[in-house]
Structure 1
């Protein structure tokens, strides 16, 4: 269809149309004449279609209103009055992405699907949700998603409960998250960026129903909306649908939602706050120091959006980063990192030192500014600049976002200007900015940026975050006393009203939606689903005596080469060193090149070389697994020769005896693991519990779990005494692993990529050992430890499970449908809706492992009891054909998550190593498609056997876990 600027298409006036070469797309900007809605369309041949609608939603205070509203509009609407339409869509659509997100100044509702019919269905539910939500007539929605007083019996203690309330208690448990919030507060005291849009648990209970509905009425109007369409869909039909079904019902109005600029400071502000640490921790060395700068704006100088991002990487993220090196050398703290937040009107550049002390603040400031001034005076190393620009350009052109839809990334990027009334394509057209930035190779471009935005910038702050023992307990006590005082002030009638509202809410939550209400949610038919499993190309070759798996896939001249070394020859006591080795390689010097120059070489000539560990469990055999150390690399075809030169140098010539650098890397790795444990506690707990009964998981626990963190803690605390032993062990593990026996190489790309790869491969093969080594014996002691894993977190992550193969059962694809039902019906209702946790999931794997796990959960025993109830739920399970179709479609949606070319190569390689054939994958799909309600009920015995094992662990709040100490076999302080 041809478009003409100024013409009107189904109520939308075309304002602008242009080609954007960087995206290989045509973009069109529309405005809906009647309602005032803005719409950006990006047309190309991508079949992963994306729709999103967003609103400018500046918060006024810390009660979390924008965030709670984001949850609540998806709890039923005019056309789709079911209590949880969002969950119904996850259960029964072919979505490739479905979510909602609250930012500091906007709320967005994105979705994606490859199926046109499904795409329109999803769009319909989302548009009805944002414009016609049931939250006006159902106050229980705010109670459930936001907060409410919970009181089951008159004599009980009064508590707060709510999904967002507990989500944010978890978010505030992360010191890094608390630091970023305090940074914004310190720099924007007079604007909406100075408050927490997600909500501070202390203030969430201040939110009233009246304020809640007023916010929706004001901001959720088409005149304040930003609509986005992307991909190969029928744009004319999409515009007609959006206009006729929704936008034509509204008239254009004036809405004051403009984001205000913060007036610059005349001098740097200093702000201090405490964050909780465990009672057994030391306060010494637990301080975060940060220097933060408001760096211009997102709209007047669009190239700064990209230039400052590169500068942050150059100064603080690259292995050759000079500011990071100066701070590490000054021994102010044990980890250094930076951030550049360009998702807001006035971007923020931050420099952070972790595990420091407040007494170091002046030294911190001095080192930062002295280093920056020296860089301006002496100039930045041009090789470093070239490296940082090249790696950024490579990523921009590759546009490989993993499973994340490209369209959604482009929408979020467009909002960095569109939200502030500027051209939405401003930051998508990067070529002209990149050309200007490349001039830095012959000018003092980045030096000027440092001077303007960092050295001579008074709109800045020093934020100091001190670790404080007992703070979590103190805050908990204050909340408890506040609730006690409030309850004491109530009349008997008022107390009874709270008891009644608690009971009424629970009854509403436990009452299933009527069939006719559930059937308002549009549903595809099984005939809409592809019956054949996707073929992943794989050809087994022999090159120079090494097994090579080639994946002939179009990659636009980028070679993805993964080298998988056998790690099962490494003795059991050295297993943690496999991960340590993978972390250090490429980040310490070699005999030929210092680590800064090595980092520059990697970034100039490649798209990245990364060393990691992985464990491939054998198909349906929980006892057998293949641990690997993997070299993941990517480069343009022309750079393959240099790529292999660098890999060969790192593998054969790395110097492990640079003690100072080695200590720095161990400290940084330990710091990142602390962050992981607090931020991704559900994954940590799930990994820990499976190590009780699975040999493969026991191995993984030693390489990436809490056991590995304990190993890091031990060698970091006593590094000076252990340094020689650590170096010796790294050398030994390196010699064992870098051996061409059992080596597998995976190459993804076009035919000419493979030709170049095969020609250059001897560079790597020739430096490998070829001694035939025996497999190490791993007789892990598997025991039901049922641990309470103690942290300073304000929430819990509760895991329970076992291995069904150990109990005599076999894997079936029908179990994936069981997983969908368990996660999105039973656990969603019991753990999230009724229990107040942010999430509850079931995981069922071919290895036989079944794990139930909760996320940001206020409970311990109650969640374990909920897991136990799944047997009765499955025993009484009933579902119509329509409902079973819904569960099957949702399961297929999971199986068919979009894969990038590199992901296809990696997935095919994993199937090969695990022994999973195309026929077995097809059988699994057919089992999913043929699942019926009786199949689900038949899993009752299996689940009963799993639950009877009573195998569980809980990671979370020290006090909360100790309150239930009688149920645990061991209590473990995670960070000690």
Structure 2
């Protein structure tokens, strides 16, 4: 609730749903929570969290009757049925004319232009999925329309709103919302000048009027439906959960529970409707948008003092509540607090809960057959898997010789590789071609430490794509076109739009993703790979993006990105290895396409510009240190992180440290940080592949105390008798739940390809985990956590910085990365 995006989204929902239950914050409004009584909480739980108000969902190849019988025996038979009809969500009372609402929201943590901080959206309430006839097809069609209006640089609203520079990006909540009883659509911009707010609203309406006249090109519709076909074909380990949550959308309101599974049926029906009526889209846009009076324009005005005012008002309310208490009432509160503390420190009896035992853990790691060969002059890893008609390809280019000065641009290059068009296809045309023929073409920067030495790293650009088997030749053609002729220098207007949007999102993320930044700062002092990660994705990158936007340094960016492209695809970055994951009958076509793509690249020459410091040289000169940093941001939400350097994956102590992270989180840190300290959550974990052990807390009102708790956790774990046999068993179960999580067919072999984690190493680590005892965990805590100085970082409220710059070794930074004296 602390970020601008979260606050604005809540206000948008409240305005769009003025009367129904969706008007309210489902998690509870922090301002109102102090007025909640214990009796009200109990009554709410008694009725809402009762089996009479529940839906049961099972997924998998299991007989239904035994499951229903067990549910009846274990749960339902122990309750009396309640009449919960009063809890049914009622239909919203629709507006008879459009509304306009102005709200105040927090400023983002960091903005490049303080004159552009307004947020504006136009939103509609649309289909009642329960009462309207043919709501399933119409909701599906509006979902497709949303994609055509918003997704990609070829989208209608991208062209009319983003490209002209009216704002820095789409506003929070933009898109089609089909997860409620009544669906909605919202579109708007953030980072808008106050004087341009009305222009944004006019542009939204004029754009829809144009679509109501012209409709959508059928080829673009086909591209969106192709993406839906790909999504349905792609095997996911989360399919069951996704189906469960999807079913709840309509099922909880008495509607069709299986609607989310009818995608192919609705796609065919939409194609039929489009064939039958050439003006289908025009009529839909007119009916659901232009002629729909339940429309809300919501304008958010940023206030840099928003959080301070909120805190002052909260303090005033608490003081008023306290002054109204009698002495006897205060004594009751003190007594109840003492009782609560005693209850928190009393171990819970979990014997009544069902659990597994370590006997259920397989002794052997799951392995898959991987073939190794050569393709296009580079090593090839071939994983033949049941990918359901899809082919996946990945090529790793060595970045170790890249000039180190280009590091700030590498992540931009990877993220925008499919955004600037080529010599044969403009940006919108390329986006449409990718969407029509593939499931995506993109790149990532892959920084991986050696399993034996955390100071030895591989830095590579991962260039990947996937497509239906029938489209594999076209996929490789597009990859070759992107690699050989991307328009980095020619598309500077496009780069300006991309940079502005990315800078705005990065600035806002300092508040909403504070834990990520705190963790990166703490870890960056410990290893060269973590340092590189922070340079590309951490605070240095955020501040660099703001500089580029402020100075309009787009020509500089274009030139640097062109340099990166010339290095990667111009022969200076050797292909380390490539990978194909496909079904047996698709392998030959994939290998032919890969060979053709690799053959289209200039021959590897290696090296970098003469005399320039390279990425490899910068990483080899790394020296470990310790951070002690507070990053001050305008937010009420605080985060704390601490890390220590430990041992690599293959070290004999690595399994014990991994298990210690599982046990310590639940047996000590949850109680001390959340239950006693008041943080929303916290824990610790070992990262064997980066040789580190890390602690964290989030939404934490007691950051400094939490840092002490992190130290105390290691000392507690090092004491004999701290962990019970039950704790040990639970830690093993959690550890193997993570290690043995299902892997989608296309992901089998990926850890070997990206991290060089072979079956022998995985089994050795697994054997170490299975052999781990309470004593080996205790010894690991004593050896690596006791008496070890932590590398620490906090991200928190700029109005209440708990440390001083230069005192006790602390560095206090503002959102520009500059010291606060």
Q: Is the 8 A contact 1:310 1:392 kept in 2?
A: no
Q: 1:190 aligns with which of 16, 19, 44?
A: 19
**2:146 is equivalent to residue 312 of structure 1:** yes
Kindly state the Cα deviation for residue 333 of structure 1 after the two structures are TM-superposed: 0.7
Secondary structure class of the residue paired with 1:897 = coil
Give the aligned partner of residue 264 of structure 1: 94
* Cα distance in 1 between the residues matched to 2:209 and 2:141: 19
Deviation at 1:950, TM superposition (A): 3.6
Shift in alpha-carbon separation, 1:765–1:441, aligned structure 2, 3 A: farther
1:342 partnered with 2:172: no
Q: Deviations over 1:769-825 (max 9, x none)?
A: 32122564214565434111111221111011121249x986421222101011122
Conservation of the 8 A alpha-carbon contact between 1:373 and 1:455: yes
User: In the TM superposition, what are the counterparts of 1:923-938 in structure 2 within 5 Å?
Assistant: 923-938=764-779
Name the structure 2 match of 1:356. 192
Question: How far apart are the structure 2 equivalents of 1:556 and 1:764?
Answer: 24
Does residue 508 (structure 1) correspond to residue 343 (structure 2)? The answer is yes
Correspondence 1:221-232 to 2 at 5 A = 221-232=50-61
Alignment counterpart, residue 487 of structure 2, candidates 655, 663, 666? 655
Match among 852, 868, 891 for residue 711 of structure 2? 868
Match of 1:588 in 2: 420
**SS of the counterpart of 1:288?**
strand
Could you tell me how far 1:648 is from its partner in structure 2?
A: 0.6
1:685 aligned to which of 493, 518, 523: 518
The change in CA–CA distance for 1:773 and 1:271 in structure 2 (over 3 A counts) is same
Q: CA deviation at 1:702?
A: 1.2
Q: CA deviation at 1:283?
A: 4.5
Distance in 1, matches of 2:725 and 2:671, equals 22
Q: Is the 8 A contact 1:822 1:842 kept in 2?
A: yes
List aligned pairs for 1:241-320, cutoff 5 A.
241-255=70-84, 256-277=86-107, 283-299=114-130, 300=132, 301-320=135-154
Gapped regions of structure 2 (runs ≥ 5): 609-613
- Residue 397 of structure 2 is aligned to residue 538 of structure 1: no
Whether contact under 8 Å (1:185, 1:195) holds in the other structure is yes
Deviation per residue, 1:397-446 (Å, 9 max, x gap): 3253xx5x311111111112211112211332222211122247652333
SS of 1:560's partner is strand
Residue 675 of structure 1: how far off its partner (Å): 4.3
Q: Partners of 2:731 and 2:659 in 1: how far apart?
A: 6
CA contact (8 A) 1:389 1:438 kept: no
Question: CA-to-partner distance for each residue in 1:498-534, whole Å, 9 max, x for gaps?
Answer: 3332222122112223xxx233333323221111011
Q: Is the 8 A contact 2:118 2:191 kept in 1?
A: yes
- SS of 2:261's equivalent in the other structure is coil
Take 2:630 and 2:418, find their aligned partners in 1: how far apart are those partners?
Answer: 37
In structure 1, the residue matched to 2:358 is: 526
Counterpart residue number, 1:665: 498
Q: Is 1:466 equivalent to 2:301 in the alignment?
A: yes
1:144 is matched with none
Q: Give the secondary structure class of the aligned counterpart of 1:614.
A: strand
Distance 1:180 1:627, change over 3 A: same
What SS does the aligned partner of 2:813 have?
strand
Matched, 1:326 2:169: no
Equivalent in 384, 392, 397 of residue 220 of structure 2: 384
Residues of 2 paired with 1:616 and 1:908: CA distance?
Answer: 12
Q: 1:677 to 1:906 in 2, by over 3 A?
A: farther
Partners of 2:7 and 2:451 in 1: how far apart? 42
**How far did residue 626 of structure 1 move?**
1.4
Structure 1, gaps ≥5 residues long: 1-171
What is the deviation of 1:699? 0.4
Query: Conserved in 2, the CA contact under 8 Å of 1:289 and 1:358?
Result: no
Map of 1:490 onto structure 2:
325
Runs of at least 4 residues off by over 6 Å = 278-282
CA deviation vs aligned residue, 1:123-148 (integer Å, no higher than 9, x gap): xxxxxxxxxxxxxxxxxxxxxxxxxx
Q: Indicate the SS of the match to 1:938.
A: helix
- Go from structure 1 to structure 2 and tell me whether the alpha carbon gap of 1:261 and 1:279 turns closer, same or farther (over 3 Å shift): closer
Contact 1:437 1:445 (8 Å CA) reproduced: no
Cα contact 2:419–2:427 (8 A) shared by 1? yes
Shift of 1:279: 8.9
- Provide the rounded CA distance (Å) in 2 between the counterparts of 1:708 and 1:631: 22
Residues 300-359 of structure 1, C-alpha deviation per residue, up to 9 Å, x if partnerless?
311233222221111112221021211123321111252221110111111020111332
Select the residue among 735, 750, 757 that pairs with 1:906. 750
Is 1:794 the counterpart of 2:628? The answer is no
User: Does the CA-based 8 Å contact 2:446-2:754 persist in structure 1?
Assistant: no
Deviations 1:582-616 (A, max 9, x none): 12211112110111111111111111112222211
Question: 1:918 aligns to what?
Answer: 759
Answer yes or no: is the 8 Å Cα contact 1:792–1:958 preserved in 2: yes
Task: Return the offset for 1:538.
Answer: 2.2
**Structure 2 vs 1, CA of residues 747 and 279 (structure 1 numbering), >3 Å: closer, same or farther?**
closer
SS in 2 for 1:286: strand
Superposition deviation, residue 545 in structure 1 = 0.5
Q: 2:463 and 2:292 mapped to 1: Cα distance? A: 42
Contact preservation (8 Å) 1:569, 1:737: no
What's the CA shift for 1:926?
1.3
Name the SS for the 1:698 alignment partner: helix
Whole-Å separation in 2 of the counterparts to 1:588 and 1:455: 33
In 2, Cα distance between equivalents of 1:932 and 1:588: 55
User: Matches of 2:301 and 2:534 in 1, distance apart?
Assistant: 30
Q: Is the 8 A contact 1:326 1:371 kept in 2?
A: yes
Taking structure 1 as reference, are residues 249 and 842 closer, same or farther at Cα in structure 2, changes over 3 Å only?
closer
Q: Find out whether 1:181 has 2:181 as its counterpart.
A: no
Q: Which residue number corresponds to residue 837 of structure 1?
A: 679
CA gap of 1:278–1:380, structure 2 versus 1, over 3 A, is: closer
User: Any idea what SS the aligned residue of 1:612 has?
Assistant: strand
1:605 aligns with 2:437: yes
- Using the size of structure 1 for normalisation, the TM-score is 0.78
Distance 2:193 2:309 in 1: 22
Matched, 1:759 2:596: no
1:569–1:480 distance in 2 versus 1, CA, 3 Å: same
- What pairs with 1:423-438 in structure 2 (closer than 5 Å)? 423-438=256-271
Q: 1:725 aligns with which of 551, 556, 561?
A: 556
Say whether the 8 Å CA contact 1:345–1:416 is kept in structure 2: yes
1:4-403 paired onto structure 2 within 5 Å: 172-255=1-84, 256-277=86-107, 283-299=114-130, 300=132, 301-336=135-170, 338-400=174-236, 403=237
CA contact (8 A) 1:620 1:848 kept: no
Instruction: Indicate the residue corresponding to 2:611 in structure 1.
Output: none
Deviation of the 1:861 alpha carbon? 0.8
User: What is the distance in 1 between the residues matched to 2:422 and 2:313?
Assistant: 55
Whether the aligned pair in 2 keeps the contact of 1:274 and 1:466 (CA below 8 Å) is yes
CA RMSD, aligned part only? 2.2
Distance 1:809 1:243, change over 3 A: closer
8 A contact 2:163–2:497 mirrored in 1: no
Q: Secondary structure, in 3 states, of the residue corresponding to 1:226? A: coil
Structure 1 position 859 matched with structure 2 position 702: yes
Tell me what 1:814 maps to. Answer: 656
- Whether the aligned pair in 2 keeps the contact of 1:687 and 1:701 (CA below 8 Å) is yes
Tell me the distance in 2 between the aligned counterparts of 1:605 and 1:746: 20
Contact 1:788 1:968 in 2 (8 A): no
Match of 1:43 in 2: none
- Alignment partner, residue 408 of structure 1: 241
Q: C-alpha separation between the residues in 1 aligned to 2:468 and 2:451?
A: 34
Aligned residues of 2:380 and 2:577 also touching (Cα < 8 A): yes
Match of 2:781 among 940, 952, 964: 940
SS at match of 2:693: strand
